[in-house]
Amino acid sequence: MAMPTLQDVGISLRNLRRAWPDQWPGLPLVFDRAWAQLGLATPRKGSSAHSLLAFGRRVAEQVEQDGARRQAQGLEPAYHNRLHIADTLVGMSYLLKTSALLAVPGARMPSVAAMGLAIMAGHDFLHPGGSNAQPGEFEARAVQDLQPWMSQAGLAEADRQALAQAIMATDPARVKGCHVQVRAQTFDLRQLESLTVLVQEADILASTLPQTSLGLTQSLATEWAPKQPQAAQRLMLPQNRLLFLEHAALFSSPAAQALGVDAVKVRQTQRIERELRQGGGRD
């Protein structure tokens, strides 16, 4: 099996955008394809992996139904929508596949892969749009709203806690600390700390790649504009993109390193810095 490339990731993200929204296949299908891409055996019924996959797919169904309803009413968030969840499922599948080819501990375990995809399916569950008024606000809300689906899927308490902790860690305020912690230890996806970093990377991978970053930034600005018009305007400034690349778009996993995400970041950073110098730093 060939090592994935960022070009492969970009093609998958582009295919999602070609379908969005008029020919949208639905999140459950995206979830199923993300799992199939990993080439893992069908989990045994009653196993942790089986329960996690059932949970993740059911969550994908709920997000799809909610998103389609809100879209029909003109209320689906411009950024925190079904396309974003699909982006993160694609990102997680490529990071897991690359991790497996690199022989990262735990990467070939069905329970680890199922957990990773389940987290992405639910990490922005029923997101109302906008940004947190206080740290962890929407993440905590997602965890709370997911409790009935965790129970319905029969998730073990340890898996429920792991899902909750990883979703809470997608709060931007928590990202840097997680990366600092994992860089000081062996990257092992059997450990929640490492899997959490993979979750954080999958969450922002599409926003980091130049092929999709502008459209996503514009979508986020559109989402913020009604309640945070000044913040929405700042999102589109090159200085803001520079801050994102240098301080928020963090990638510490062996998979991200093998894919060459840091090199892509450096090229973007250098281009923006050059343009700012040539423009005298004007907005």
pLDDT tens for each residue of 169-181: 999 999 999 999 9
Average pLDDT over residues 116-129: 98
Residues 96, 116 contacting (CB under 8 angstroms): yes
pLDDT at 1: 74
Percent of the chain beyond pLDDT 90? 97
Question: Which two tokens mark 145?
Answer: 């709203």
Render the burial of 251-265: b for 16+ CB within 10 Å, e for the rest: bbbbbbebbebeebb
pLDDT at 183: 92
CA geometry: angle at 79 spanning 78 and 84, to 5°?
130
CA geometry: angle at 40 spanning 38 and 42, to 5°?
130
Average pLDDT over residues 193-209: 98
pLDDT at 283: 46
pLDDT at 280: 66
Give the Cα separation of 171 and 168 in Å (integer).
6
Task: Pinpoint the alpha helices (H) of 184-226.
Answer: 192-208, 210-224
Average pLDDT over residues 195-199: 98
> Is pLDDT above 80 for 261?
yes
CATH class of 6-278: mainly alpha
Summarised one tens digit per residue, pLDDT across range 61-85 is 999 999 999 999 999 999 999 999 9
Give the Cα separation of 115 and 189 in Å (integer).
10
Kindly state the DSSP code that residue 47 receives in the 8-state scheme: S
> Is pLDDT above 80 for 281?
no
Summarised one tens digit per residue, pLDDT across range 226-239 is 999 999 999 999 99
Average pLDDT over residues 19-27: 97
Summarised one tens digit per residue, pLDDT across range 86-101 is 999 999 999 999 999 9
| Band of residue 21 on the pLDDT scale cut at 50, 70, 90 | very high
> Is pLDDT above 50 for 160?
yes
| Band of residue 279 on the pLDDT scale cut at 50, 70, 90 | confident
- Rounded-to-5 percentages of helix, strand, coil across the chain: 70, 0, 30
Closest CA to 35 of 121, 144, 101: 121
> Is pLDDT above 70 for 282?
no
Average pLDDT taken over every residue of the chain: 96
What residues contact residue 268 under an 8 Å CB cut-off, 6+ apart?
Answer: 210, 213, 241, 245
Question: Which two tokens mark 187?
Answer: 């990257």
> Is pLDDT above 80 for 161?
yes
| Band of residue 224 on the pLDDT scale cut at 50, 70, 90 | very high
* pTM, two decimal places: 0.97
What is the identity of the amino acid at 95? L
Is 71 exposed, middle or buried (CB count within 10 Å of its CB: 0-12, 13-18, 19+)? middle
